[in-house]
Amino acid sequence: MNVHDSEKMLGILEEEGFVSTPHPREADLIIFNTCSIRQKAEQKFFSELGRIKSYKRFNPLLRIAVAGCIAQQEGKAIFKRAPYVDFVFGPQNILSLRHFVSDGRSSVATEENPGIAEEVLPVRRSPGISAWVTIMYGCNNFCSYCVVPYTRGRERSRPSEHILSEVSALSEQGFGEITLLGQNVNSYKSDVGFPELLGRLDRIGGIKRIRFVTSHPKDLSPGLINAIAELPKVCEHIHLPLQSGSTRILTKMNRRYSFEEYLEKVNALRARIPDIAITTDIIAGFPGETSDDHKSTLRALSEIEFDGIFAFMFSPRPRTKAAGMRGHLPEETRTGRLLEILSLQDSITERKNASLQGSVMQVLAEGPAESGNGNLTGRTRTNKIVDFTAHEKMAGQQLKVAILRGRKHSLEGKIVD
């Protein structure tokens, strides 16, 4: 989401006559687009910011802006901590960048912005195969550990006609794949709901694949399962954050589903779409998590066999309920549990990837491979990375690739005539 927000900032700057440089020392404007989902991201940002301060000595015209969730969270306190910062704007106020660069005064833009979904922002995407498209902003869920509802504000869906015309334009520019973005895409609601939006996007010529992130399990509807099953361009992959395998912890997290309910959704997905890939997010060491709760999470991973997970150590965030809960666990315990989760999942992913050896999969070629196991890289519809050997000019095409080897984090293949 932040990467795409940066593309919006680039779009605005381009309209204002800016060009980008790979050399920060040459820049007249440096924007930090920050993340505050966990403490580590925040610490990293403040140390980077300190490093860039000296650039002002080399270039007195340099202006420094802080954007994103830390900007929203800290507001003008950032000026106190770093007086050399010129402008602070949150994720709901990206458009204010335009006023800042034209009038140049130091200021803060962190107001709630209910109108954000109606704004049509210019987007500067790097040329490529795949494009992000925002369909909704904000989140209403208030999971007890999460800072997002405080930084990105309430849920607002973009009008479907704005999304449709953006995707039509992307198709004309040659993008083959779009990924729809929202904190909780299942609660997209304008004149149409999410499954119907997918149906309309599916009819746009030129687009080969449609993906979306993220889905909240409580809102995963039979209508969406049908849409994934029936719409040819909608890929067979869903990112469905579980967070914990213990219903007791899920309740404390305010997730509003039990582990059993989650499992029912997984079973419904797999019954209707047998090849679907399911990935998830897990938080290790939530306050009050006992070793039994942790074991329930490990059991859940073994039972469900996700295609991949993102796992994180619990990190207390300002204003969230969990930060004030009793039973915070020492870092050692959280790290130990995280490592157990990751190592169990590694063996599951490896086994799942190995089981694909010998199959033929449809791969959308994206560009040159980095791994050296082939010269091109692409993804299967189930979002698995495949490195394979083919002519470089095939980037952008959908190809049939025979899987020769399943590795830990990717597959290796050979193009089939």
Least Å distance between CB 184 and ligand SF4? 5
373 binds, among ligand 5AD, ligand SF4, none (CB under 5 to 8 A by kind): none
Among 34, 36, 141, 383, binds ligand SF4 (CB under 6 A): 141
If one asks whether residue 38 binds ligand 5AD (CB under 6 A), the answer comes out as yes
Residues contacting residue 56 through CB under 8 Å, at least 6 positions apart: 62, 64, 84
If one asks whether residue 149 binds ligand SF4 (CB under 6 A), the answer comes out as yes
If one asks whether residue 238 binds ligand SF4 (CB under 6 A), the answer comes out as no
315 binds, among ligand 5AD, ligand SF4, none (CB under 5 to 8 A by kind): ligand 5AD
If one asks whether residue 142 binds ligand SF4 (CB under 6 A), the answer comes out as yes
Among 34, 73, 183, 382, binds ligand SF4 (CB under 6 A): 183
Least Å distance between CB 150 and ligand 5AD? 11
Among 32, 132, 175, 314, binds ligand 5AD (CB under 6 A): 314
Question: Torsions phi, psi of 95, nearest 5?
Answer: -65, -25
Token code pair at residue 15: 């309209």
Least Å distance between CB 286 and ligand 5AD? 8
202 binds, among ligand SF4, ligand 5AD, none (CB under 5 to 8 A by kind): none
Residues 182, 132: Cα–Cα separation, whole Å: 10
Among 64, 135, 146, 341, binds ligand 5AD (CB under 6 A): 146
If one asks whether residue 257 binds ligand 5AD (CB under 6 A), the answer comes out as no
If one asks whether residue 283 binds ligand 5AD (CB under 6 A), the answer comes out as yes
If one asks whether residue 134 binds ligand SF4 (CB under 6 A), the answer comes out as no
312 binds, among ligand SF4, ligand 5AD, none (CB under 5 to 8 A by kind): ligand 5AD
If one asks whether residue 181 binds ligand SF4 (CB under 6 A), the answer comes out as no
If one asks whether residue 37 binds ligand 5AD (CB under 6 A), the answer comes out as yes
Residues 214-243: x/- map of binding to ligand 5AD (CB under 6 A)?
Answer: ---------------------------x-x
Among 281, 298, 350, 352, binds ligand 5AD (CB under 6 A): 281
Give a three-class secondary structure readout of the chain: CHHHHHHHHHHHHHHCCCCCCCCHHHCCEEEEEECCCCHHHHHHHHHHHHHHCCHHHHCCCCEEEEEHHHHHHHCCHHHHHCCCCCEEECHHHCCHHHHHHHHCCCEEECCCCHHHHHCCCCCCCCCCCEEEEECEECCCCCCCCCCHHHHHCCCEECCHHHHHHHHHHHHHCCCCEEEEECCCHHHCECCCEHHHHHHHHHCCCCCCEEEEECCCHHHCCHHHHHHHHHCCCECCEEECCCECCCHHHHHHCCCCCCHHHHHHHHHHHHHHCCCCEEEEEEEECCCCCCHHHHHHHHHHHHHHCCCEEEEEECCCCCCCCHHHCCCCCCHHHHHHHHHHHHHHHHHHHHHHHHCCCCCEEEEEEEEECCCCCCCEEEEECCCCEEEEECCHHHCCCEEEEEEEEECCCCEEEEECC
Among 34, 93, 110, 184, binds ligand SF4 (CB under 6 A): 184
Residue placing its CB nearer to ligand SF4 in the complex, 116 or 273: 116
Residues that bind ligand 5AD (CB under 6 A): 37-38, 145-146, 241, 243, 281, 283, 312, 314-315, 317
Residues that bind ligand SF4 (CB under 6 A): 139, 141-143, 146, 148-149, 183-184, 216
